[in-house]
Amino acid sequence: MADKSIEQLVQDWLELDQYEPTRKEIQDLVAQKNNGELESRLRTRIAFGTAGLRSSMQSGFAHLNPLTIIQASQGLASYILANLASFPAHKQKAVIIGHDHRHNSSLFAKLTALAFVLKGVKVFFLDEIVHTPLVPFGVGLLDAMAGVMITASHNPARDNGYKVYWSNGCQIIPPTDEGIAQAIEENLRPVEGAWDTQVLEGSELVEKVKGKVETAYFQKLGQMVEGMRVEKKGDVRFVYTPMHGVGLAPARKVVEGVGMLDGMVVVDEQAKPDPDFPTVKFPNPEEKGALDLAMAAADREGITIALANDPDADRFAAAEKIDGKWRTLTGNQLGVLFASHMLATSALPMNKISLLSSAVSTQMLSAMAQVDDFDHQETLTGFKWLGNVAQAITAREEYKTIYAFEEAIGYMFSDVVYDKDGVAALGVFLTMLERWNAEGITPTRRLQQLYEKYGFFESCNGYVVSPAPKVTKDVFDGIRALGAGSGKRYPAKLGGRQITYWRDLTEGFDSATSDGVPVLPVDKSSQMITVGMEGVRFTIRGSGTEPKIKYYVEAKATVSEEAAKAAKEVADAIVQEWFKPAEFGLVVV
């Protein structure tokens, strides 16, 4: 596309696109002679990666719209058909497709389904809005070869996404993503009939399965949660918000299953699915202010617990009012609370259990493993890695992976699904509240007990905004070059602290392995370095989806204040001594 004129790109678009609203967008830009916007929309093609596709919904090859959805689906279908021999024998030549409530999600799901039907692939269709975990769960339940969920999770209202799961119910990882991307490039022209979604009605290749999959999912989740229950002592009351998303219906089923429906207060303003997310700028429970309405509702009811799912209900958040002030539990804090509960309620011997966390999550889980003698392993960021590694560990039969988490409020309970699941997390959290209530303690007090046993861990995470990918690379290359004077591949110090460990998953170096080769996969196309110092560990990485360089700093100490101080000092040193905002034109947030 690089060698084509803008006029040729416009002609290409109008030749392929048969959806009138997006055709008109391009035609209007042409009439306005807005070549800058046309270049932005048409010059580059939206990239397919391990997260599938995610972008704003606009016309043009660079965004999500009916044409790029058809192209992606034709490519995915072709890749599956070309690789039938690689799937397990019990798998059906079928995919499962679901969607959330966002603008165009239903249309995108139907166009996706149609692309598969036209290639002779059966579609198990979740024909109404669902929460994301139903798709990976359905892959396993129905022996499908793959699954597609149309959602942009907690992104702003203008965005949507195309999330792909493979035959094992996990998000795709390399080289599968690369193969699909290539197949998309080879199937860009919509086949005959690709726009006529009416074909789906009455097609023998389409089976509507929402009821079947939901029933099995809640049965599976109910079995897991029931095994964690304790005798109820007093009523557990809490506020819940689905953040204008799809979570309320499945949340109510879970809450009813644990007998706590009478104690559930829903945030009315955010209860119904609304693709415009009118009460929150960013519909992400992690964002500052996102839980304000839930906290206000709790205050009115005299309740001290507020719980939330993100819009597609695959993430979970919790806040507690302590001494008159609301405190939102971090993803890491929730992660270790869940871990402790999973260990306490598992029927497996401790030395047969494996728990996973990602490289940017707290090291507290590792400290717990050293004390309690369970297996803990670290993966690359993202549940595509956590899910696939969990399955691989369990398949070797030395350990069973029962739980995994990531600091970005994602929690996986593998007895239900090998992906993050906010509804399952809600169910498990309610059993935790029951247990704590019976013991006369709060979530914060339970967390304090864990700190007293394993050490105090405090984090200081953040990011700077980078103007361009090349600048991000220059920043990381400059950091590596700081070790040149000492003859090492990494700096000796940062902020006056000696560096004792260095892992560079871009360059493929790990100072702790005998051969210097990292255990975790190396990816030269992305920037990621993990550093260890006395009492402190941090990871810096370039974001794959945003113009950011992120840092995740964690310190361990005998008291909370000491750990927090160390984490903040190292975070400041990273930004000023290594990122060098003034030199590289970075924006400090």
How far apart are the C-alpha atoms of 92 and 145, rounded to whole Å? Answer: 6
- Give one DSSP letter per residue of 419-473, joined into a string: S--HHHHHHHHHHHHHHHHHHT--HHHHHHHHHHHH-EEEEEEEEEE-S-HHHHH
Give pLDDT, residue 281: 87
The two structure tokens encoding residue 6: 């803008």
How far apart are the C-alpha atoms of 412 and 130, rounded to whole Å? Answer: 18
Q: List residues with catalytic annotation.
A: 153
Buried b (16+ CB within 10 A) or exposed e, 20-57: eebbebbeebbeeeeeeebeebbeebbebbbbbbbbbb
- Block mean pLDDT (10 aa), the chain, length 589: 90 97 97 96 90 94 98 98 97 98 98 98 97 98 98 95 98 94 97 97 96 98 91 82 98 95 97 97 92 98 98 98 96 97 97 96 96 96 96 97 97 98 98 93 96 95 93 96 81 94 96 94 92 96 85 95 96 97 94
Cα-to-chain-centroid distance, residue 461? 17
Give the homologous superfamily in CATH for domain 217-325: Alpha-D-Glucose-1,6-Bisphosphate, subunit A, domain 3 (3.40.120.10)
Give pLDDT, residue 232: 67
Four-residue CA torsion sign, 351, 354, 355, 357: positive
Give pLDDT, residue 29: 97
Choices 3.50.50.60, 3.60.15.10, 3.40.50.2300, 3.40.120.10: CATH for 6-208: 3.40.120.10
Give pLDDT, residue 545: 67
Q: What end-to-end distance do the CA atoms of the chain give, in Å?
A: 35
Residue 134 contacts residue 98 (beta carbons within 8 Å): yes
Ranges of H-type helices in 57-100:
66-82
Four-residue CA torsion sign, 56, 60, 66, 68: negative
**Alpha carbon separation from 319 to 167, 305, 391 (Å, rounded):** 36, 6, 31
Residue with tokens 């799937």: 87
How far apart are the C-alpha atoms of 534 and 530, rounded to whole Å? Answer: 14
CATH of domain 456-588: 3.30.310.50
The whole-model pTM stands at 0.94
CATH topology classification for 332-454: Alpha-D-Glucose-1,6-Bisphosphate; Chain A, domain 3 (3.40.120)
How far apart are the C-alpha atoms of 150 and 312, rounded to whole Å? Answer: 10
List the domain boundaries for the chain: 6-208, 217-325, 332-454, 456-588
